[in-house]
Amino acid sequence: MKSQCIYLILRMGKNDLNASINEDENKLGVSRMQRRLERIYLGGGKAKIEKQHGRGKLTARERIDYLIDDGSYFFEIGAFAGFEMYKEHGGAPAGGVVMGLGYVAGKMCMIVANDATVKAGAWFPITGKKNLRAQEIALENNTPLIYLVDSAGVYLPMQDEIFPDKEHFGRMFRNNAIISSKGIPQIAAIMGSCVAGGAYLPIMSDEALIVEGTGSIFLAGPYLVKAAIGETVDKQTLGGAETQSSLSGVTDYIMKDDKECLDTIKDLVGKMGKMDTAGFDRIEAKDPKLPAEKIYENFPSEATKPYNSYKILDSIVDEGSITEYKKTYGKTIICAYARIDGWSVGIVMNSREVIKNAKGEMQFGGVIYSDSADKATRFILNCNQKKIPLVFMQDVTGFMVGTRSEHGGIIKDGAKLVNAVSNSTVPKFTVVMGNSYGAGNYAMCGKAYDPRLIVGWPTAKIAVMGGTQAAKVLTQIQVTSLKNKNQPPNKAAEKALFEKIKAKYDEQTTAYYAAARLWMDAIIDPVDTRRFISIGIEMSNHSKVEKFNVGVIQT
């Protein structure tokens, strides 16, 4: 009896220690993220912000803060876009544009605001990708778009990477036309420069406002006019507010300053009619069983450690709302109906616990086996049948490999799951909690599979495979190549080669590397997961759900 008590005390002490380590590491990760965001929020720096204020202009973030409803939440998308990229050009914090979902006059809108403190709001390649993502989200979800324009146009030193291709600058204006044809409102405010091809964006919107003294819009600026036809003209005479409102009639409203412009946008949005809903089910919300902060304790600080996935869910879903599907089958994926902030959802979540299946075989957590792929496929079909949005919670190292899996048809079972995810028509939302490797990323609705929104925790890692495994493979390839040339490395050289490859690969798997390239829409604090999902479903509730047709799935 005494020995049992000692064992229990030691066991409890170990659990408490692990929880404390997890909490400390996760909070450090969130703190690191917040410090980086604080630098990003400064845009081009304090001097540039003061210069903007000196001209009587608000910054992009100040404009958004003024525009959205008091006390409402702004979900920023792409804050880490361009992170640690374009260093030779001085960097591009947030890609030189601030965008996200916010409530204006009680209506959820997609807001896109050029940051003129970053290279005068010029477009880098990632700026184009970010703007196109905003339009994609608006188009998928019937979300009104508000453009706060203040941009010098294409960043000329990189024009070959932003100007000519299908997913580049010009696609914005094509999307303007498509969005308009779908009846999705677009309002544009010219609050600074609007030059060359960029002039089409506000004028292809439904309504355009322009601010006196600071706003200007023209196909060619004074310097280009002088070079092209020899005419000397100043900016305001050429395309200022008075010219474009009273003379050309290009713009619809002339505003005295930024605040009057933003107040008018609020008024215009407030007079919009209500949009239809898809009818996703929502009831009165209940708080989760565990506080959101418990995620810090329950999610491990090391990517290889197992943990109880149900405890993570207990901090996200409404208490008592889980109905688990095929609980005793395919245990490395949890499939469950639940509610999040009152919304009905279908959750597909990787389980990281090592378990025995019904045959007594060991199955490793975070790996997709044939039975778990089969279960998830069937569950996704059911959610589409019932018009229930899907939430994917990723912590996956891939599909199971080896002779037994191949002989058991893992490729076929994996293909079924990928097929179901690809053809799913209900809104999909993805949260990358930890690992997201290889085909596991695809099967669990990675960016390539059109989630309405995809975010990661600071612990997220996205790659073909983990850094250690990839480094071992690449090292073996290089060592073999050297041996074939009769230049075999010694053990020290081989180890140095491995460490060099691993360091590079590890850097490329981080959440920041992924978010910088918009493989994820945002990096979020884990405690905000519930709010993120709720906002996403509310956004998507204004979009029509197409009839589900899964195509050919082999049995």
Q: By C-alpha distance, which of 202, 200, 337 is closest to 261?
A: 202
**Contact between 512 and 523 (Cβ < 8 Å):** yes
Name the helix (H) or strand (E) containing 423.
helix 410-423
Residue 240 has a CB neighbour count (10 Å cut-off) of: 23
- The per-residue pLDDT for 506 is 81
- The per-residue pLDDT for 554 is 54
Rg, C-alpha atoms of the chain: 26
- The per-residue pLDDT for 449 is 96
Instruction: Give the residue-averaged pLDDT of 350-371.
Output: 84
Which one has a higher pLDDT value, 416 or 503?
416
Of 220-229, 466-475, 491-500, minimum mean pLDDT range: 466-475
pTM of the model: 0.91
Of 38-52, 217-231, 235-249, 420-434, minimum mean pLDDT range: 217-231
- The per-residue pLDDT for 555 is 53
* Coil/strand/helix, residue 448: helix
Whether 9 shows a pLDDT value over 70: the answer reads no
Structure tokens at 254: 């002339």
Of 219-233, 268-282, 307-321, minimum mean pLDDT range: 219-233
Q: By C-alpha distance, which of 418, 368, 439, 441 is closest to 550?
A: 418
- Placement of tokens 């048809």 in the chain: 409
What letter represents residue 549's amino acid? Answer: N
Whether 553 shows a pLDDT value over 70: the answer reads no
- The per-residue pLDDT for 418 is 95
Q: By C-alpha distance, which of 510, 330, 528 is closest to 435?
A: 510
Whether 25 shows a pLDDT value over 70: the answer reads yes
**Contact between 263 and 269 (Cβ < 8 Å):** no
Using CA of residue 57, residue 58, residue 63, residue 67, what is the dihedral sign?
negative
Q: By C-alpha distance, which of 361, 315, 310 is closest to 336?
A: 310
203 — phi, psi (to 5°)? -80, -20
Q: At what angle do helices 467-484 and 491-508 cross, to 10 degrees?
A: 140
Which one has a higher pLDDT value, 273 or 155?
273
Whether 6 shows a pLDDT value over 50: the answer reads no
Of 108-122, 254-268, 359-373, 436-450, minimum mean pLDDT range: 359-373
Of 93-102, 431-440, 487-496, minimum mean pLDDT range: 487-496
| pLDDT range class, residue 10, cuts 50, 70, 90 | very low
- C-alpha to C-alpha distance for 248 and 228, rounded to whole angstroms: 21
pLDDT digits (tens, 9 = 90+) for 57-68: 999 999 999 999
* Coil/strand/helix, residue 2: helix
Which one has a higher pLDDT value, 305 or 156?
305
- The per-residue pLDDT for 473 is 76
* Coil/strand/helix, residue 282: strand
- The per-residue pLDDT for 375 is 96
Whether 338 shows a pLDDT value over 90: the answer reads yes
Q: By C-alpha distance, which of 101, 178, 106 is closest to 145?
A: 101
- The per-residue pLDDT for 13 is 63
Instruction: Name the DSSP class of 547.
Output: P
- C-alpha to C-alpha distance for 112 and 145, rounded to whole angstroms: 8
- The per-residue pLDDT for 347 is 98
**Contact between 216 and 238 (Cβ < 8 Å):** yes
Strands 398-399 and 453-456: unpaired
**Contact between 112 and 131 (Cβ < 8 Å):** yes
Q: CB neighbours of 541 closer than 8 A, spacing ≥ 6?
A: 277, 278, 279, 280
| CA angle at 107 for the pair 152 and 214, rounded to the nearest 5° | 25
Q: Report H helices in 166-319.
A: 171-181, 200-203, 222-229, 235-239, 241-242, 258-270, 294-298, 309-314
Averaged confidence pLDDT in the chain: 90
- Sequential DSSP letters for 327-396: TTSSTTEEEEEEEETTEEEEEEEE--S-EE-TTS-EE-TTEE-HHHHHHHHHHHHHHHHHT--EEEEEEE
pLDDT digits (tens, 9 = 90+) for 129-173: 999 999 999 999 999 999 999 998 888 788 888 888 888 888 988
Q: At what angle do helices 529-540 and 125-141 cross, to 10 degrees?
A: 60
